[in-house]
Structure formats: C-alpha cells, structure tokens
Amino acid sequence: MKYMIMTFGDSAAWDTLGLGDRAAGWSEEQVAEHFRAMAAFYDELAASGEMVTGFGLADPSHTMTVEIRDGRPVASDGPYAEAKEVLAGFGIIDVASRERAVELAGRFAALVGARVELRPVMDGSGQEM
C-alpha cells in the first residue's frame, strides 16, 4: 500500500538550511550532515524497494496560484503565505503494512526535526461491490 509522507515548515526552515533569503542559521557542517542523513534515508528506502518517489520543495516564495476565472485559467504569483506552516517536501512510499509506514514516518520526523503527516494514496483496485 502506498502512503505519502509530508513534511511542513515555516519559511524560517529554508533559512535554517541557507536556502532562503537570509544567511543560514546552521553551520556548514550541520547543513552537510542534514543532507547526508536525508540522502542515506532515501538510499535505504530505494534499496529496499519501498521508495516510489520523493522531493523537497523549493522555497515557498516561488509558489504560483492557478485558478479558473470566467472559464479560463489565470496564473498569479503567491500566495506569500503568512501561514506558519507550508508543505516543505513529500515522499511516496510503498510498504507492506500500515505499521511499517508509521515506522518510516517516525524516522523521517526525527530526521527533519518536525512532525510529518502520513496519508494513504488512493489506488485503482477495488473489491466486488
């Protein structure tokens, strides 16, 4: 069964890593160690055949909004969220059980130092109705 693991952060989180507009809050070693640990976690899941895909998202200042106005799609920059938390990254895993998904999400939460959300992904199979 497939699950999406989502991590959240405020824009300060990107700053911490030196990816935002301001100087990095972490030392170079801390940033390097963080990326190393994340890469090792991804590699482990890729090797076990449980990683479907995963990406970190760019700084929220790059966000665009697309909506339908008068029947036509209109794109605009923003929102530049005041929101405390925005989606920072996601991974889709395919695991044998719900327990395994929770276990991996827990390790992910420890790595990013923040709570993560876990949501089952809909699939195309169905039982006889």
Partner 1 sequence: MSLTPEAEDLLRAHAPRVLAALTRRYGNFDLAEDAVQEALIAAAAQWPEQGVPGNPPGWLTTVATRRLTDLLRGEQARRRREEREAATLFPTGPASADDDTLELLFLCCHPALNPPAQVALTLRAVGGLTTAEIARALLLPETTLSQRITRAKKRVQDAGARFPLPDDGERGRRLDVVLHVLYLVFNEGYTASSGDDLRRGDLCVEAIRLVRMVHRLLPGVPETGGLLALLLLTDARRAARTGPGGELIPLAEQDRALWDRAAIGEGLALLEEVLARRRPGPYQLQAAVAALHAEAARFEDTDWAQIVALYEVLDRLEANPMVTLNRAVAVAMLRGPAAGLALLEEVAGDERMAGHHRLPAVRAHLLERAGERAAAAAEYREAARRTTSRPEQRYLATRAARLDRHPG
Q: Which residues bind partner 1 (CB under 8 A)?
A: 1, 46-53, 94-97, 120-129
Q: Which is nearer to partner 1, 6 or 13 (CB)?
A: 6
Q: Which of 55, 129, 45, 127 is nearest to 91 (CA)?
A: 55
Q: Which is nearer to partner 1, 68 or 122 (CB)?
A: 122
Q: Which helix (H) or strand (E) holds 8?
A: strand 2-9
For residue 118, the cross-strand partners are: 5
Q: Which is nearer to partner 1, 70 or 125 (CB)?
A: 125
